[in-house]
Amino acid sequence: MTVDDKLVHSRGARPAGAAPIDVISVQSQVVYGHAGNSAAAEPLRQLGLRVAEVPTTLLSNAPVYPTTRGRVLPADWVADLLRGVDERGLPARAGMLLSGYLGTAAIGTVLAEWIDEALPRHPHLRYCLDPVLGDMHIGLYVEAGLVDIVRERLLPHAWLLTLNAFELGQLCGRNCATETACLEAARELQRGGVASVVVHGIGLAGGSLGMLALGAGDAYRLSTPKLPIDVTGTGDVFAAVLAAFLLRGEPLPLALERATTGVHAALEQTLLHQVEELDVRLAAPAAEDDSNRRFVATRVG
> How much is the pLDDT for 209?
95
Task: Pick the closest to residue 266 from 241, 298, 296, 244 (CA basis).
Answer: 241
Q: How far apart are CA 249 and CA 100, in angstroms?
A: 22
Q: What is the pTM of this model?
A: 0.95
Strands 139-140 and 126-129: unpaired
The answer to whether the beta carbons of residues 62 and 31 sit under 8 Å apart is no
Distance CA 185, CA 80 (A): 36
Which amino acid, 61?
Answer: N
Q: What are phi and psi of 208, to 5 degrees?
A: -90, 170
Q: What is the pLDDT of residue 241?
A: 98
pLDDT tens by residue, the chain, 301 residues: 566 667 677 777 878 889 999 999 999 999 999 999 999 999 999 999 999 999 999 999 999 999 999 999 999 999 999 999 999 999 999 999 999 999 999 999 999 999 999 999 999 999 999 999 999 888 999 999 999 999 999 999 999 999 999 999 999 999 999 999 999 999 999 998 999 999 999 999 888 999 999 998 899 999 999 999 999 999 999 999 999 999 999 999 999 999 999 999 999 999 999 999 999 999 999 999 998 888 999 999 7
Grouping H, G, I as helix, E, B as strand and the rest as coil, residue 156 is helix
Could you tell me the domains of the chain? 19-299 (3.40.1190.20)
Residue 205: predicted pLDDT: 85
Q: Nearest CA to 110 among 81, 87, 133?
A: 81
- Nearest 10 degrees: Cα torsion 291, 294, 299, 300: -170
Beta-strand (E) ranges in 180-228? 196-203, 208-214, 219-225
Residue 208 Cα distances to 38, 63, 147, 184, angstroms: 28, 27, 28, 20
